[in-house]
Structure 1
Amino acid sequence: MSSRYKDKDTGTTVATLNAKWISWIHTATAYAAFLSALTVGIYLHYHKIVKNEFYGYPQEWFPSVSATIGDRYPERSFFMVFIALTSGPRFALVTLWYLLTVKPGKVLPKFIAGVGIFRTLTCGGWTYVTSTDDHDWHDIFMISYLVATIPWTFGCIALSPPNPKAIKYRKYLATAFFGAIPPMIYFFIQHKIHRVAGAYTTYSFFEWSLILFDVAFDAVTALDFDTFEIVVRDVKGLSKGYVQRLPK
């Protein structure tokens, strides 16, 4: 372990962390929230969470996101705990993206940062106000989140640093995300209006794919944040330890 580094102007560096780990922590906790709820839900309440207002098992055999994360205990609690843990890295990710892309006189980075904060807050809205609690407000928060995803996605692509690998992944994931929306709407209409057996299961697969693509899109920031190092400094000299150089 390295000895402490003392700078008379900036203080003592007590910890450093490569910023890409913010992206990885955000990705891990976000996926853990949804996948833990799905695993627990299937194990404990499979027949209940695949059932909808028209059909149940075996016509419908895979649960929707809403049924998985909002209808039953304890899967709802698993989801809420992990999604709460995601909020800190999420705000940090939005802040780091702003710091990476901001330029004097440019409005777009500020706008996208505002959109990123708005998306985080609306995510909390549809997370903690489930369709079981208040269907209208759940839908309002969810639709607001999806609408805000449009400028966030295209804004991030427009602001991407000159990293061909990251740009390529963002374009692929954005195409997959928006490409999944039309068939998802189609199968929802087949279920809701035409009452086609099994349509809701197909709809659910597209709904889950949006979650996977959305989180993966933000995970690409790890390729850009590798250029940043987060440093914690003791400016008053109260710390007694050594520099903690966390994994690169």
Structure 2
Amino acid sequence: MAGYKDKDGGVVLSFNGSWVAWSHTAVAYTAFLSALVIGSMLHYHKIVKNEWFGYPDEWFPSVSATIGDRYPERSLFQLFIAITSGPRFALVGLWYILTRKPGHALPKFVGAMGLFRTFTCGGWTYITSTDDHDWHDIFMIAYLVATLPWTLGCIALSPPNPKAIKYRKYIASAFFGTLVPMVYFFLQHKIHRVPGAYTVYAFFEWSLILFDVAFDAVTALDFSTFEVVVKDVKGATSGYVQWLPK
């Protein structure tokens, strides 16, 4: 990281656009994985238990039980998700700027879906299954439904970067392919009350989280073309320019 004096008091901060994607990825993964580690250490037997079975029939916690049932993992998760919202909104905004074209409605629609997903994520994050199971599920389902146009739209609008397009297609296929067995094992648990089915369901549920965040991490390959600049247009700062590494 380096800096220098800008005699005009203009640019005071500059960083490559890929940092938006990487910061979003790092903080989002930290939110989920920190809750999983802390929850497993402090409340393992409680978060693996469901309405039908507990340990040892069920031995891996679901996402909802991990992030919403117990303190302090619930608070830790919500703290990091709040931090994630900053780079998340920036990611959606940069993607719209990168893909917009005069007379084309698709970039606007995809951008709107990106914003909608961000707000619905806040819904199932801060209204947990313990608080209100119905609204938690409504926001979660809305998030998953909006993921379809967001994912397909991002693939359709991808700049001509073969590496990024390949990664998006692979991750999207893994994400949507995971939904079918996840629903199957959820029904095995909920309707047929099969011991251990919820644990298998939980693995697929966590896989969705990993794939979802990874899909948006691919934007780092496209955002490398951007330089995000903060300018002091009135000369109120000392004019010391801070550059983040490429």
TM-score by length of 2: 0.98
Match 2:158 to one of 160, 167, 170: 160
**Preserved CA contact (<8 Å) 1:14 1:242:** yes
- Aligned AA (1:86): T
- Equivalent residue of 2:10, what SS? strand
List alignment gaps of at least 5 residues for structure 1.
none
**1:4 Cα offset (Å):** 3.0
Match 2:38 to one of 26, 37, 40: 40
Q: Aligned residues, how many? A: 245
Q: Which residue of 1 aligns with 2:4?
A: 3
Q: Does 1:112 align with 2:110?
A: yes
**Preserved CA contact (<8 Å) 2:60 2:202:** yes
Question: Per-residue CA shift, 1:135-158, capped at 9, x if unaligned?
Answer: 111111000000000000000000
Q: What is the CA–CA distance in structure 1 between the aligned matches of 2:135 and 2:191, rounded to whole Å?
A: 22
Q: How does 1:1-248 map to 2 (within 5 A)?
A: 1-6=2-7, 12-248=10-246
Q: What is the CA–CA distance in structure 1 between the aligned matches of 2:4 and 2:181, rounded to whole Å?
A: 58
Q: Runs in 1 of length 4+ with deviation above 2 angstroms?
A: 1-7
Question: Per-residue CA shift, 1:57-113, capped at 9, x if unaligned?
Answer: 000000000000000001101100000000000000000000000010010000111
**Preserved CA contact (<8 Å) 1:4 1:13:** no
Q: What is the CA–CA distance in structure 1 between the aligned matches of 2:109 and 2:16, rounded to whole Å?
A: 26
- Equivalent residue of 1:243, what SS? strand
RMSD between aligned alpha carbons?
1.0
Q: What is the CA–CA distance in structure 1 between the aligned matches of 2:88 and 2:221, rounded to whole Å?
A: 16
Q: What is the CA–CA distance in structure 2 between the aligned matches of 1:116 and 1:4, rounded to whole Å?
A: 38
**Preserved CA contact (<8 Å) 2:6 2:239:** no
**Preserved CA contact (<8 Å) 1:4 1:12:** no
- Equivalent residue of 1:3, what SS? strand
**Preserved CA contact (<8 Å) 2:4 2:242:** no
Give me the identity figure in percent: 76
- Aligned AA (1:132): T
